[in-house]
């Protein structure tokens, strides 16, 4: 059903300027779990940090409005932030495309003492450990009681938070055209368009993931179907916004998008994982391909392989993910790198191209 992962979550944050990272799933695995994670995590951040307005309400623990402390721990704030996906911990085996289990994770960073003899009990703050345990335990509690009557709640939270993610997609898409950084309006328009396209596809997958709770409950199914239909309306709205922005920026309507010869060739190749899993992972480990493609985006290329998406579909999904996070975080995703990696995996027998 889900993987809730903790790593280094008892770290005393005042030692080495640590930040509690709340790690989202990769966009290949965005789901109801991300919505629950963000909802409960945001509550924890807001109620265990000091805010002037909240501190003046009276009758509440000072300086935090819903403080979680441990009797043997510090009274420090909860210095936490949600971050786009990274692995380097045990949740990575769950989000694998061939496995497909929704997963979120917690980790403290930076940590100058990790994997050393200095990583001892004096690094631990029971207060931070309690807060992180509350976050994971609250999520586990909700999942434990998640019968089909809870599907509307998961659908609502996922859809609502998805609209915020889509707003971020639109923001980045508009930034790409102010003006086109390469001086090529068509290239900027192609990137901006794929951000909207892939954002809608991501949010449809996320809402669909709540079907695991709905089962045969017709009312619950209706909630999901309604929100999925609303995403179709949202796509039209976002594309209209993007068109208006392009027209204002370049004083003309955008041209119809055309695939380059390389994109057209990539659109005709559909990869699927080799079977069984043992063969797939063994052969994938032997793939040799040199490029500047970020390691996490390299993984995402594999995660998006499903026997339905083409090379070009996978490229668009991974490029959109990197564009939204920013090149400072995931680098740049180029078509030749995605095609080269997939071809190398086919050559090693980790993937098979469907005819």
**274: three-class secondary structure by DSSP:** coil
The per-residue pLDDT for range 148-165, each reduced to its tens digit, is: 999 999 999 999 999 999
Nearest CA to 49 among 26, 80, 23?
A: 80
**Would you call 225 helix, strand, or coil by DSSP?**
helix
Supply the pLDDT for residue 184: 79
- The size of the chain, in residues, is 355
Contacts of 17 (CB under 8 A, 6+ apart): 110
pLDDT of residue 54: 81
Q: Are 81 and 21 in contact (CB under 8 A)?
A: yes
Distance separating alpha carbons of residues 50 and 77, to the nearest angstrom: 7
Residue reference for tokens 């030692």: 15
Q: Could you tell me which of 263, 249, 340 has the C-alpha nearest to residue 301?
A: 340
Q: Report pLDDT for 62.
A: 73
DSSP one-letter code for 12: -
The answer to whether residues 307 and 182 touch, using CB atoms and an 8 Å cutoff, is: no
Three-state secondary structure call for residue 273: strand
pLDDT at res. 17: 86
CA distance 52 to 281: 52
SS3 106: strand
In eight-state DSSP terms, residue 10 is T
- Please provide the distance, in angstroms rounded to a whole number, between the alpha carbons at the two ends of the chain: 33
336-346 residue pLDDT tens: 999 999 999 99
Query: Phi, psi at residue 22, to the nearest 5°?
Result: -105, 105
Pick the closest to residue 172 from 326, 328, 330 (CA basis): 326
Contact between 12 and 130 (Cβ < 8 Å): no
Nearest to 299 by CA among 10, 25, 80: 25
Dist CA 35 CA 26 (whole Å): 13
C-alpha radius of gyration, the chain, whole number: 22
For residues 156 and 303, what is the distance between their CA atoms, to the nearest angstrom? 26
* pLDDT for residue 88: 86
How many angstroms separate the Cα of 55 from the Cα of each of 46, 60, 64, 144, 347?
12, 8, 7, 34, 62
- Continuous segment of H or E residues that includes residue 4: strand 3-7
Find how far residue 185's CA is from the centre of its chain.
28
List of the chain residues with pLDDT < 50: none
B/e letters for 93-132, b = 16+ CB within 10 Å, e = fewer, are ebbbbeeebbbbbbbbbebebeeeeeeeeebbbbbbbbbb
For residue 63, whether the previous peptide bond is cis, meaning omega lies within 30 degrees of 0, is yes
């Amino acid at each position: 059903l889900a993987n809730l992962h903790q790593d280094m979550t008892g770290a005393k944050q005042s030692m080495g300027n640590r930040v509690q990272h709340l790690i989202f799933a990769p966009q290949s695995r965005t789901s109801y779990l991300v919505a629950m994670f963000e909802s409960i995590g945001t509550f924890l951040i807001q109620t265990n940090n000091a805010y002037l307005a909240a501190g003046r309400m009276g009758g509440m623990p000072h300086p935090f409005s819903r403080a979680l402390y441990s009797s043997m721990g510090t009274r420090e704030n909860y210095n936490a932030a949600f971050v786009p996906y990274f692995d380097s911990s045990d949740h990575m085996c769950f989000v694998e495309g061939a496995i497909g289990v929704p997963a979120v994770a917690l980790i403290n960073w930076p940590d100058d003492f990790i994997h050393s003899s200095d990583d001892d009990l004096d690094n631990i703050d029971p207060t931070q450990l309690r807060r992180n345990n509350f976050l994971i335990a609250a999520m586990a509690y909700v999942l434990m009681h998640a019968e089909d009557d809870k599907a509307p709640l998961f659908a609502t939270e996922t859809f609502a938070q998805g609209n915020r993610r889509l707003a971020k997609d639109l923001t980045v898409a508009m930034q790409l055209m102010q003006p086109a950084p390469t001086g090529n309006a068509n290239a900027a328009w192609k990137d901006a368009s794929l951000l909207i396209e892939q954002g809608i596809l991501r949010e449809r997958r996320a809402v669909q993931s709540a079907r695991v709770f709905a089962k045969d409950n017709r009312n619950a199914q209706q909630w999901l179907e309604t929100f999925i239909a609303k995403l179709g309306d949202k796509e039209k709205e976002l594309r209209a916004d993007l068109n208006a922005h392009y027209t204002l920026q370049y004083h003309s309507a955008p041209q119809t998008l055309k695939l380059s010869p390389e994109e057209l060739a990539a659109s005709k190749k559909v990869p699927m994982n080799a079977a069984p899993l043992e063969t797939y992972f063994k052969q994938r480990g032997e793939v040799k391909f040199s490029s500047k493609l970020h390691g996490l985006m390299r993984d995402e290329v594999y995660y998006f392989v499903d026997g339905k998406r083409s090379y070009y579909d996978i490229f668009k999904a991974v490029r959109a993910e990197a564009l939204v996070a920013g090149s400072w975080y995931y680098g740049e995703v180029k078509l030749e790198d995605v095609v080269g990696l997939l071809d190398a995996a086919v050559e090693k027998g980790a993937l098979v191209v469907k005819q």
